[in-house]
Structure 1
Amino acid sequence: METTIELPALAWLVTAEDQEIPLTATLRYTTGDPLAVFVDFPAEAALEGEDVSWTFARSLLDQGLRTPAGHGDVQIWPHGRTRTVLEFHSPFGLALLQFPTSTLRRFLVRTYEVVAAGQEDMAAVVERGLNALFGGV
Structure 2
Amino acid sequence: MSTVIDQAVQARLIASAPLDRPVPAQLRYERSDPFAVHIAFPPAASLDGADVEWAFGRELLACGLISPAGGGDVHIWPCGPDRTVLEFHAREGVAMVQIDTSELRRFLARSYALVPLGCEVGHLDVDGDLAALLREA
TM-score, with length taken from structure 1: 0.89
Q: Is the 8 A contact 1:33 1:125 kept in 2?
A: no
Distance 1:116 1:50, change over 3 A: same
Tell me how far apart the structure 2 counterparts of residues 3 and 60 of structure 1 sit (CA, whole Å): 21
Q: Is it true that 1:102 corresponds to 2:102 in the alignment?
A: yes
Residue pairs, 1:39-58, within 5 angstroms: 39-58=39-58
Tell me how far apart the structure 2 counterparts of residues 81 and 66 of structure 1 sit (CA, whole Å): 10
**What letter matches 1:21 in structure 2?**
R
Q: Is the 8 A contact 2:32 2:123 kept in 1?
A: no
Q: Is it true that 1:116 corresponds to 2:125 in the alignment?
A: no
**What letter matches 1:119 in structure 2?**
C
Q: What residue is the counterpart of 1:64 in the other structure? A: 64
1:72 to partner: Cα distance: 1.1
Q: Unaligned stretches of 5+ in structure 2?
A: none
Q: What residue is the counterpart of 1:16 in the other structure? A: 16
Q: What residue is the counterpart of 2:28 in the other structure? A: 28
Q: What residue is the counterpart of 1:5 in the other structure? A: 5
* Aligned-residue CA RMSD (Å): 2.1
TM-score, with length taken from structure 2: 0.89
1:50 to partner: Cα distance: 1.2
Aligned identity (percent) is: 47
Tell me how far apart the structure 2 counterparts of residues 97 and 111 of structure 1 sit (CA, whole Å): 21
Tell me how far apart the structure 2 counterparts of residues 116 and 105 of structure 1 sit (CA, whole Å): 14
Q: Unaligned stretches of 5+ in structure 1?
A: none
Q: Is the 8 A contact 2:89 2:95 kept in 1?
A: yes
Q: What residue is the counterpart of 1:38 in the other structure? A: 38
1:48 to partner: Cα distance: 1.6
Aligned length: 137
Q: What residue is the counterpart of 1:76 in the other structure? A: 76
